[in-house]
Structure 1
């Protein structure tokens, strides 16, 4: 069973994404900010991370940088999520593998997760 770490400070978003993924047989762990996500990495060893761009304490850009700078987790596929357009997100964050704009449809979430887990961009 593959594990997805969902990092989002909006409880409703994390809960919906968790439900969508669990219904498809994925194991899901959640974190409410980047700092908590980094701690959870060692607990759950995810196969993929869904990372919100705008969060308190440690935002998506800072979290993304910390993950990519950690040799153990640097190659994990990461989906960046935001209500902002991707062009705005790319001003500060570029090292993610796929972008999902909020609000998104359940099928978009599943397609993105399946795509990255079946064809990881980093070896």
Structure 2
């Protein structure tokens, strides 16, 4: 049963927000892996094989844009959808250069985030397996 769950990799350094996201997503039958920060995003992504990666933009040492670029420029992970969220609005950040699939400004509506994650996860699973799975 666990293998049927949609998987989300969350990279968030705020403990309260990462706990909230994990709780909400797990209540909706997602399997979550939460990281505060990782230079090893490619290794973790390849090991966990998420259906979607959820990145905070403001992270210590390497921001979400840089992490997203590592994922999107790697042949084995480039098709995994990435959502970046930030307290900075799209008008302050050149999001067209981020290579992410979706950008969401904070504070965000949790239902909008969940809807985007669901769409991306289902699309990725369909693309990866050629089969539409719920």
Please report the TM-score for the alignment, with normalisation by the length of structure 1.
0.87
What stretches of structure 1 move > 4 A for 4+ residues in a row?
A: none
Residues 109, 92 of structure 1: CA spacing in aligned structure 2 closer, same or farther, 3 A cutoff? closer
Counterparts of 2:43 and 2:86, CA distance in 1: 22
Q: Which has the larger radius of gyration?
A: 2
Per the TM alignment, residue 91 of structure 1 is displaced from its structure 2 partner at its CA by 5.5
**SS of 2:92 mapped into structure 1:** helix
Indicate the RMSD between aligned Cα atoms, in angstroms: 1.8
Taking the aligned partners of 2:94 and 2:63, their CA distance within structure 1 comes to 14
Query: Is the aligned partner of 1:12 residue 2:19?
Result: no
Query: How many aligned positions are there?
Result: 121
Runs of at least 5 residues in structure 1 that lack an aligned partner in the other structure: none
Distance of 2:70 and 2:14 partners within structure 1: 21
Q: Which runs of 5+ in 2 are unaligned?
A: 128-134
Q: Residue 25 of structure 1 is aligned with which of 22, 25, 29?
A: 29
In the other structure, the counterpart of 1:51 is 55
